[in-house]
Each structure stands twice: as structure tokens, then as C-alpha cells.
Amino acid sequence: MCTPKNYCNGCLRVSLEPREMRMSHWLYGPKVEDLSQGRVLLDLSAGQWDLLAADESALGLDLRLRKYPGDRREVTLNIHLADLSLWLDGQAVAEAELEAALDAALDRPQG
């Protein structure tokens, strides 16, 4: 596992699980934890999602993700710090439906 990094004044921690998908092609599956409540907000570490970047925004944390093998567009998942909700393409996403929503976003036109 890569060294975890804290964001949003120490409220959120992002850790990455590196996995070699094929020779010299690595994915870094993210896991995001809410440190104040000690709970996992999302865990994509065992799947085929790769974290390209994590950037703080006015609302919280933006995660740029792509899915292996990377032949479709990347998506940005937003974590709103006020209520720790997950947002994708301007829509709130339930934790239980996150991966299905991410997959569906891959096929929508970028806007």
C-alpha cells in the first residue's frame, strides 16, 4: 500500500492500493476514510478503478478516476465535506450504488 495522504484539513484520508494489471501497468485503487467518524466513505481498492488525481475544492475533495484498461473517459467523483456525500455528474450517489453509477458515467458524453 502507498503512504496515505490526508486532505481537507485532516478530515479525509486517501490511501491507494497498487496492483499490477499486466506487465508494467499499475492501477492505484483508492480508499477514502472520514477520520472524524472513523468510517470508510468509499473503497475502490480491489476493483478496476485507478485514481489519477485527488484535489481539494471549495466543497471538499474531487477524485479523478479512470477504469482499466483506460480506453474510455475519466470521471470525477466529488466528496462534499459538509455532509460527506458522494456526487457524480451533479447527482448525489448512494454508497451502495457507487460502482454502478461510476460505470454508467463512463458511457455518458462529457459535459
Rounded to a whole number of angstroms, the distance between the first and last alpha carbons of the chain is: 34
Give me the residue label for grid cell 468510517.
Answer: 39
Give me the residue label for grid cell 467518524.
Answer: 37
pLDDT digits (tens, 9 = 90+) for 24-67: 889 999 999 999 999 999 999 999 999 999 999 999 999 999 99
Query: For residues 99 and 95, what is the distance between their CA atoms, to the nearest angstrom?
Result: 8
Cell of 91: 447527482
Domain ranges of the chain: 5-106
Helix (H) or strand (E) holding 32: strand 25-34
pLDDT digits (tens, 9 = 90+) for 56-96: 999 999 999 999 998 888 999 999 999 999 999 889 999 99
- The whole-model pTM stands at 0.92
3-state helix, strand, coil in the chain (%, to 5): 10, 50, 35
